[in-house]
Amino acid sequence: MTKVGIIGASGFTGAELLRLCADHPDLDVRFATGDTQVGARVAELYPSLLARWPDLVLQPFSPELVDDVDLVFLGLPHGASQAIVPQIIDRVAHVVDLSADFRLHDPALYPKWYGAEHQAPELLERFVYGLPELFHDEVAGAQHIAVPGCYPTAGSLALAPLVRAGLVSTEGLIVDAASGVSGAGRAAKPTTSFCAVDEDFMAYGLEGHRHTPELDQNLGATVRFTPHLVPMNRGILATCYARPTGATSTAELLAALREAYGDAPFVVVRTDSPNTKATLGANTAHVTALLDERTGYVVALCALDNLVKGASGQAIQCANLICGLDETFGLPSIGLMP
């Protein structure tokens, strides 16, 4: 068994890690921290976890906790991992960080997109960007993982095979994506209360969302990214637009997706439009692409569950790979319907 700890288990991604670890054949959770909820049982915060975690209590963080585990998941807010990782990275074999703190290769991007200098830029090169469908060998050979953001996962899975095949230009890429409210985190905010989001649909981050440089990095492009908030709990649907580099067809675009994801257990290539409900609760992304002959645009779409393939499920997929396990262990591939 692989002994694991979860630092930052009181939020949605932490709870999702616990849900997925509950039925995992190899991951044995030894501790969970939650500094804002110290002393609370996780089952008090999330009754859905009662069947597996009736007595697990959230502890305060201390570096010594990691000495007795093999792998640590960090489910912390953006910025918090930069202070903790230097304290633990040489005390534990593997760190899997779900925040944005070690995703970007260039430390100069952090002040622009996250509003502060990176506190540990010397550690960035020790993390591998954890999107297995695009960087499988790098992930499998890594020691530490930076789990991608939910929006970049969706946009990159839709577009990267088409970019890599030379079918679409890296100039003028557009990603419009809509996410459920859980993507904003567990903390109460005026803009994400029930009354604020119910019967509403809005775009945000219009002057530049912090996930934009991840998309640029993954696609080797300058991407125009616009996120939207929709009144549902989970899910992301990314609709992406690109200009073809030459003559192409819907059949050729779909063939490129099928070739790219032929061995990927968690990507389904569809000929119809992907929908978020089909991915609910699963670590599976549904993708498609088509040529709009009237306008000349290539349209590529991806649907996924932002808390599973967009966060905690992807973290466990990466953990499986770096621990030498089958990447599918403990991860559902079938969504909940209805």
- Could you list the active site residues? 150
> What's the rounded Cα separation, in Å, for the pair 336 and 244?
35
> What's the rounded Cα separation, in Å, for the pair 147 and 314?
7
Nearest to 27 by CA among 338, 316, 336: 316
Could you tell me if 224 and 175 are in contact, meaning their C-beta atoms sit under 8 angstroms apart? yes
Q: CB-side exposure of 282: number of CA atoms within 13 Å?
A: 20
Residue 79: CB partners within 8 Å, gap ≥ 6? 99, 101, 114, 116
β-strands 202-203, 285-291: how paired?
Answer: unpaired
Sheet holding 2-7, edge to edge: 27-33, 2-7, 71-74, 94-97, 144-146, 127-129
